[in-house]
């Protein structure tokens, strides 16, 4: 059996996106349903780009959980290790509000949700060993027993030479304090081969703002990481390698509808290109192009682009 | 200041109703937002019928909570004692699925929701004294501190001669066990002047099925109740008085879209007619007519009929 | 089978009494172990006086739980309905400090203790029906599921004509708020035939101080109680009957070592004498004499007097 | 200011030791009170041996907490960072039962105890920097927020060149599962310079039995540890160094009264001798001698030997 290219680990959820734009959520009367959650989106995004992908997650044993499972199945993601919570916990919900392209906000239902109850007993170490790469979302570290499951998954991957990507994916809602966040985010990032996050998320790692990218990445390079990608939103991104290289990534301007989903599509494009051995510079382009496409559309998961979409966009901007 | 006709007490929530009918929720892709929760619906329903109504409730301090407050305000309900949960708890959600008129199901988000944190400190005894009637929903008894708040509200009403209606409104989701449900539902029903519930809900009160209506009501008449209404769905309803009268209420046939909201509109029509001194027989008609109208429409709260709607329907069926 | 005279319901615990007197607990280096908990003490006390007594309780499944079971067995109490907590919860502990006869304080371990997990499934309604009298301790109302078990036990007793005594036994430690205490203590007291408590405990019932005994008892006589005993410590006690009689009880002066256990021995003596049809006036004497004996000794349970001890003391004081 | 030789971190508790030996706890009627808890005992033990020692801990704000603070103060331990739990949590209790020298058991009260609520906000990073060595007890990793406080303390020590000793000190009672224990114990041990534990505790680290000492230590030497001590009870102990040395430590035979406290006195003697630059072989002797003395006496903390006691014993056995 050939190895899976990627297994993502963590949150699968339901997004309820306002169908009416440019108004406060109070006045939004209709919502459309999509699969959501950063690692679920990356699984869908990379599968759509042609990678062989699986996901380790826990969803609700109800209609919403069924919907997520079905959708991911159809998107080609291996869902054998997406378990159902038999104790009746619900799947997380994210209501999105698009007041304007610059003013997007979210309202999350994350109390006692199924994904935070993913445990070490819900997956086999063999499954992780069957992958080239494991991507763990930082949100899965926010509460027990999902926290221990994530730490165990990373440790298992490391023991067996599986590459580990940590996507910081910081969601304040489920964490108890900044100190706690910093402790576990840092522990996971130190064990990773690749760390991806926004500038703000690296500040959370430090539990302090005001650091330059260079300072943040320097500390992590004392540990396992080989490659660190810091995203600066509309200002582009920067990749740092352990041996001192710094590669800048640009942004493809587009008609922005909302900012949600940008990070997940970036990760999908970036990982796909890295797997194709296109090099870091080119991978940043694939990431930016994918992000650019998703922010111009209504959903995060459903809007994930194809390789053709990405390459067309890159070509349009002169490669 | 004249007295309020009615204050309802308990759950205010958000309903997310499938906009596509006759399909499983897994395949439902769009949901419409309405105010929900039994005592909120009764407050809206009776206000629309012209009563002077207030509500004691706790909602989330977010866009959904704002929506509910705004909607009820516009519906003419006094919202001065609808407080916001300052500890970040969310408002309850009910996703509805309409597979067919006979097969409706719901998916509730009720973990740690704001309404269960309504406490004795969130309202004044004076407010309760300012009403002719207090309606308490059984769901508010399901967890502390809302449970103690409800028991205290009933006790306060009784001390000051305010009529107490207990609407059993049994939702298994938030209760720990059948025994617990029976204990608190019974305690509240014994203190009430009027008890309204379905046959199933009276069985929950007994913590046993197989009782006739007569057996169930007989025990309660050993305590405070003067009037007990047992609803039998499409088979109509029966009202029992303490002095032995039994009044049957019929059902007005209609094109049923879904069964949700039938109970709340029934209670609204019934209470309105009782306040108008129309007598029990006539009040059962108003309740049935109101229920008949709501089950033919998409929402529960928004669909609440006017007096004219109700009376037109009754007349159409020969009065 | 003849009926049991008394079943007590609630807390069985372990007392750890300072063996050195008249010093702060910080400097106390040795502690002696006794059975403790108000309803356990009353069961032991009344059994020692010759009544046929059982207890409904939950203890830890460890050495301390075994000790309590063994001790009560040997004291002649029926322990068939003292169950063990199979989920590993501990039995409550009370460290006592005797700085001086006037300055006694206690340090309680009551977090998550076994007695608060006594549930409706831990006893049979038939057992309650097998008794003449059920005594419920107010402490058992302080948390779920013990709260529901106590309410259910009282309701079962009432349905089958078993006399109900509520001993208010207020311990602030396990209650969430004064409002909550008042709600459940009042609910239980209203259902009782006999209510026994200190002046302070009746103030807790009211959730307000400053009431006279007469005001407190008047409200309860609107409900089930036939007899109410208000204890005023060294100033004696007063018994009020539903038909307006007021009987004063005196105190027998003694060399006081500590005040713990006075209430439980009072209840034991009082209940014993009432069962012997000695009348209220005489029963107050038996209660006072029993209390007087226990406060002069080191423990609460072990020091419970015999009938001879009590009657000798009463005679010594001129009957 | 000169540096503290040692700061211990974690559990301070109260031991209640049976004063009667050789009988089951059910029949033990008197208990003597001592300071307990592994890191508290090591702080007292090393202070008694002449080291300059402090402790970071959280105790109850009651008589038992005062007792522990006073006792440690008098034993010369710096208690400036032993805080009191202002939310009313109790200090842990350990009742000990000495059926025979071979059959000792304990009964612990550890639910919601103060030490598990020690948080990162209860101490300053500067305090840790003021020490040569930080000793962290594995028990402090068993629950949040104490878990995060311990991980943060270790991380702070490492950043500032403070030596870290992890004493595995595994107490099953407070951990949720074997998997969880393994994850956090391993994380802490990997960051330590020195790891001390029994053979059983290293099996817990592995979450599997049947490993040889060599296999267990080999994995840890891939990370930070320089020195690992595995204790085999009456069969002695073995110290492993990162560069492959293995040093065996013998046991000094004595009249054993109970086995409690052996580990804490071993650690105290061992750390003291290492600080005196006596070498590993000699340090194992000091540890064994200290353990031998404590197991022949009634308490753990109070029985901690002086340097003279230890050296006399070693000399008696031929050095």
Mean pLDDT of chain B: 94
Share above pLDDT 90 across residues of chain C, in percent, rounded to a whole number: 83
Contact C26 D67 (CB under 8 A): yes
Taking alpha carbons only, the member of A270, A280, A271 closest to residue A246 is A280
Query: Residue C27 corresponds to which tokens in the numbers above?
Result: 């400097």
- How many whole angstroms separate alpha carbon B233 and alpha carbon B288? 10
Per-residue confidence band for C219, with pLDDT thresholds at 50, 70 and 90 = very high
A67 touches chain B (CB under 8 A): yes
Q: Do chains C and D touch (3 or more CB pairs under 8 A)?
A: yes
Nearest residue of D to residue A224, measured between CA atoms? D223
- How many whole angstroms separate alpha carbon A64 and alpha carbon B15? 16
B255 touches chain A (CB under 8 A): no
Contact C183 B144 (CB under 8 A): no
Instruction: Outline where chain D has alpha helix (H).
Output: 38-48, 63-74, 125-129, 146-159, 178-191, 199-206, 213-220, 262-275, 280-294, 307-316
Nearest residue of C to residue B144, measured between CA atoms? C180
**What is the rounded average pLDDT of the residues C186-204?**
96
Least confident segment among A297-301, D46-50, D196-200, D243-247? A297-301
Of B25, B62, B109, the CB nearest to A90: B109
Given a cut of 90, whether residue C10 has pLDDT beyond it is yes
Nearest residue of A to residue D120, measured between CA atoms? A179
C50 touches chain B (CB under 8 A): no
The pTM assigned to this predicted structure is: 0.94
Contact C187 B151 (CB under 8 A): yes
Taking alpha carbons only, the member of B90, B95, B92 closest to residue B29 is B95
Phi and psi at residue C169, to the nearest 5°: 40, 60
* A143 or B318, greater pLDDT: A143
Contact D64 C33 (CB under 8 A): no
Work out how many CB contacts closer than 8 A connect B with C: 32
Angle at C197 between CA C193 and CA C200, to 5 degrees: 140
Share above pLDDT 90 across residues of chain D, in percent, rounded to a whole number: 83
Q: How many CB atoms lie within 10 A of CB A84?
A: 16
Burial class (CB in 10 A: 0-12, 13-18, 19+), C169: buried
* D136 or A172, greater pLDDT: D136
Contact D64 C95 (CB under 8 A): yes
A172 touches chain B (CB under 8 A): no
Q: How far apart are the first and last CA of chain B?
A: 36
Contact A26 B70 (CB under 8 A): yes
Angle at D201 between CA D253 and CA D161, to 5 degrees: 100
CA distance A147 to chain D (A): 10
Q: What is the reported pLDDT for B1? A: 58
- How many whole angstroms separate alpha carbon D260 and alpha carbon D296? 10
Nearest residue of B to residue A27, measured between CA atoms? B67
Q: What is the reported pLDDT for A79? A: 98
**Furthest C-alpha separation in chain B:** 53
- How many whole angstroms separate alpha carbon B168 and alpha carbon B181? 10
Task: State whether residue D206 is helix, strand or coil.
Answer: helix
Contact B63 A26 (CB under 8 A): yes
Burial class (CB in 10 A: 0-12, 13-18, 19+), C222: exposed
C-chain residues near D89 (CB < 8 A): 111
Angle at B113 between CA B204 and CA B82, to 5 degrees: 100
CA distance A150 to chain B (A): 24
C19 touches chain D (CB under 8 A): yes
Which of D20, D31, D92 to mutate: most C Cβ within 10 Å?
A: D31
C222 touches chain B (CB under 8 A): no
CA distance C28 to chain D (A): 8
Neighbours of chain B (3+ CB pairs under 8 A): A, C
Neighbours of chain A (3+ CB pairs under 8 A): B, D
Given a cut of 90, whether residue B103 has pLDDT beyond it is no
Neighbours of chain C (3+ CB pairs under 8 A): B, D
Instruction: Tell me how far CA of residue D63 lies from CA of C27, C103, D43, D112, D309, in angstroms.
Output: 9, 15, 21, 18, 32
Contact B183 C121 (CB under 8 A): no
DSSP letters of chain B?
-PPEEEEEES--EEEEEESS-SS-GGG--EEEEEEE-HHHHHHHHHHHTT--EEEEEEEESSHHHHHHHHHHHHTT-EEEEEEEETT-PPPPEEEEEEEETTEEEEEEE-TT-GGGG--GGGS-HHHHHTEEEEEEEGGGGSSTTHHHHHHHHHHHHHHTT-EEEEE----GGG-S-HHHHHHHHHHHHHH-SEEEEEHHHHHHHHTSS---HHHHHHHHTTSS-SEEEEE-GGG-EEEEETTS-EEEE-------S--TTHHHHHHHHHHHHHHTT--HHHHHHHHHHHHHHHTTSS-SSTTPPPHHHHHHHHHHTT-
Taking alpha carbons only, the member of C310, C264, C300 closest to residue C49 is C310
B17 touches chain A (CB under 8 A): no
Q: What is the reported pLDDT for A1? A: 58
Contact C120 B179 (CB under 8 A): yes
D14 and D35 Cβ atoms separated by less than 8 Å = yes
Nearest residue of D to residue C69, measured between CA atoms? D26
Q: What is the reported pLDDT for A257? A: 84
Given a cut of 70, whether residue C1 has pLDDT beyond it is no
Work out how many CB contacts closer than 8 A connect A with D: 32
D129 touches chain C (CB under 8 A): no
Q: What is the reported pLDDT for C113? A: 97
Given a cut of 90, whether residue D209 has pLDDT beyond it is no
Query: Residue B4 corresponds to which tokens in the numbers above?
Result: 């309020």
Query: Residue A43 corresponds to which tokens in the numbers above?
Result: 């699984």
Task: State whether residue D247 is helix, strand or coil.
Answer: strand
**What is the rounded average pLDDT of the residues D145-152?**
97
Return the CA Rg of chain B: 18
**Complex-level ipTM beyond the 0.90 threshold:** yes
Nearest residue of C to residue B146, measured between CA atoms? C180
Given a cut of 80, whether residue D102 has pLDDT beyond it is no
Least confident segment among C52-56, D58-62, D115-119, D206-210? D206-210
Q: Which residues, numbered 88 to 127 in chain C, qualify as contacts with chain B under a Cβ-Cβ cut-off of 8 Å?
A: 120-121
B289 and B236 Cβ atoms separated by less than 8 Å = no
**What is the rounded average pLDDT of the residues D9-32?**
92
The single-letter DSSP state of residue D149 is H
Residues 6+ apart with CB under 8 A from A12: A35, A36, A37, A39, A40, A55, A57, A58, A59, A68, A72, A82, A91, A115
Instruction: Outline where D75-177 has alpha helix (H).
Output: 125-129, 146-159
* C193 or D301, greater pLDDT: C193
Instruction: Tell me how far CA of residue A275 lies from CA of A44, A46, A278, A307, in angstroms.
Output: 16, 10, 8, 13
Report helix angle A63-74 to A38-48, nearest 10. Answer: 30
Least confident segment among A249-253, D46-50, D69-73? A249-253
Per-residue confidence band for C77, with pLDDT thresholds at 50, 70 and 90 = very high
Given a cut of 70, whether residue D1 has pLDDT beyond it is no
3-state SS track over B168-213: CCCCHHHCCCHHHHHHHHHHHHHHCCEEEEEHHHHHHHHCCCCCCH
Given a cut of 70, whether residue C286 has pLDDT beyond it is yes
Of A31, A64, A95, the CB nearest to B107: A64
Contact C16 D31 (CB under 8 A): yes
Nearest residue of A to residue D143, measured between CA atoms? A144
Work out how many CB contacts closer than 8 A connect A with B: 63
Of C30, C93, C107, the CB nearest to D63: C107
Q: What is the reported pLDDT for D32? A: 95
Per-residue confidence band for C60, with pLDDT thresholds at 50, 70 and 90 = very high
Q: Which residues of D52-63 are buried (b: 16+ CB within 10 A; e: fewer)?
A: bbbbbbbbbbbb
**What is the rounded average pLDDT of the residues D240-261?**
91
Kindly list the structural domains of chain D, giving each domain's residue range(s) and its CATH number in brackets, ordered by start: 6-11+38-88+112-316 (3.40.1190.20)
Q: What is the reported pLDDT for B257? A: 84
Contact D187 A145 (CB under 8 A): no
Work out how many CB contacts closer than 8 A connect C with D: 63
Burial class (CB in 10 A: 0-12, 13-18, 19+), B214: exposed
Nearest residue of D to residue C30, measured between CA atoms? D32
What is the per-residue pLDDT across B214-268, written as a single tens digit (0 to 9) for each? 998 999 999 999 999 999 988 999 999 999 999 999 899 988 888 888 999 999 9
Of A120, A145, A183, the CB nearest to D151: A183
Of C121, C148, C179, the CB nearest to B120: C179
What is the per-residue pLDDT across D163-205, written as a single tens digit (0 to 9) for each? 999 999 999 988 999 999 999 999 999 999 999 999 999 999 9
Neighbours of chain D (3+ CB pairs under 8 A): A, C
Contact A107 B32 (CB under 8 A): no
What is the per-residue pLDDT across A264-297, written as a single tens digit (0 to 9) for each? 999 999 999 999 999 999 999 999 999 999 999 8
Looking only at the bridges linking them, the beta strands covering C93-100 and C103-109 are antiparallel
Residues 6+ apart with CB under 8 A from D35: D12, D13, D14, D15, D41, D44, D67, D68, D71, D72, D301, D302
Nearest residue of C to residue B147, measured between CA atoms? C180
**What is the rounded average pLDDT of the residues D9-38?**
93
Of A152, A155, A179, the CB nearest to D152: A179
* Enclosing H/E stretch for A264: helix A262-275
Q: What is the reported pLDDT for A272? A: 98
What is the per-residue pLDDT across A95-131, written as a single tens digit (0 to 9) for each? 998 888 778 889 999 999 999 999 999 999 999 999 9
What is the per-residue pLDDT across A54-67, written as a single tens digit (0 to 9) for each? 999 999 999 999 99
D298 and D255 Cβ atoms separated by less than 8 Å = no
Query: Residue B207 corresponds to which tokens in the numbers above?
Result: 């913590």
Contact B144 C176 (CB under 8 A): yes
Q: Do chains A and C touch (3 or more CB pairs under 8 A)?
A: no
**What is the rounded average pLDDT of the residues B185-205?**
96
Q: What is the reported pLDDT for C43? A: 98
Given a cut of 70, whether residue C2 has pLDDT beyond it is yes
Query: Residue D253 corresponds to which tokens in the numbers above?
Result: 């035979």
Given a cut of 90, whether residue B273 has pLDDT beyond it is yes
């Amino acid at each position: 059996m050939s190895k899976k290219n990627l297994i993502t680990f963590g949150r699968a959820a339901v997004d309820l996106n306002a169908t009416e734009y440019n108004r406060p959520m109070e006045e939004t009367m209709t919502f459309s349903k999509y699969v959501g959650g950063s690692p679920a989106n990356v699984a869908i995004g990379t599968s759509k780009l042609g990678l062989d992908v699986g996901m380790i997650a826990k969803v609700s044993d109800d209609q919403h959980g069924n919907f997520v499972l079905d959708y991911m199945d159809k998107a080609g993601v291996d869902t054998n290790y997406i378990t159902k919570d038999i104790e009746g916990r619900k799947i997380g919900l994210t209501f999105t509000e698009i007041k304007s392209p610059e003013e997007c906000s979210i309202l999350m239902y994350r109390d006692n949700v199924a994904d935070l109850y993913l445990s070490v007993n819900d997956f086999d170490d063999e499954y992780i060993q069957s992958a080239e790469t494991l991507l763990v979302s930082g949100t899965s570290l926010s509460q027990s027993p999902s926290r221990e499951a994530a730490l165990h998954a990373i440790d298992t991957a490391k023991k067996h030479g599986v590459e580990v990507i940590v996507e910081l994916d910081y969601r304040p809602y489920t964490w108890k304090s900044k100190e706690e966040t910093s402790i576990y985010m840092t522990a996971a990032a130190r064990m990773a081969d690749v760390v991806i996050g926004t500038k703000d998320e690296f500040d959370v790692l430090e539990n302090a703002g005001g650091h330059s990218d260079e300072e943040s990445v320097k500390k992590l390079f004392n540990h396992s990481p080989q490659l660190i990608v810091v995203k600066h939103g509309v200002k582009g991104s920067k990749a740092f390698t352990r041996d001192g290289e710094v590669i800048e990534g640009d942004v493809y301007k587009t008609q922005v509808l909302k900012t949600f989903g940008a990070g997940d599509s970036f990760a999908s494009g970036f990982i796909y290109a890295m797997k194709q051995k296109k090099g870091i510079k080119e991978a940043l382009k694939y990431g930016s192009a994918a992000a650019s496409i998703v922010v111009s559309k209504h959903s995060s998961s459903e809007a994930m682009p194809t390789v053709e979409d990405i390459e067309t966009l890159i070509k349009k901007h002169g490669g």
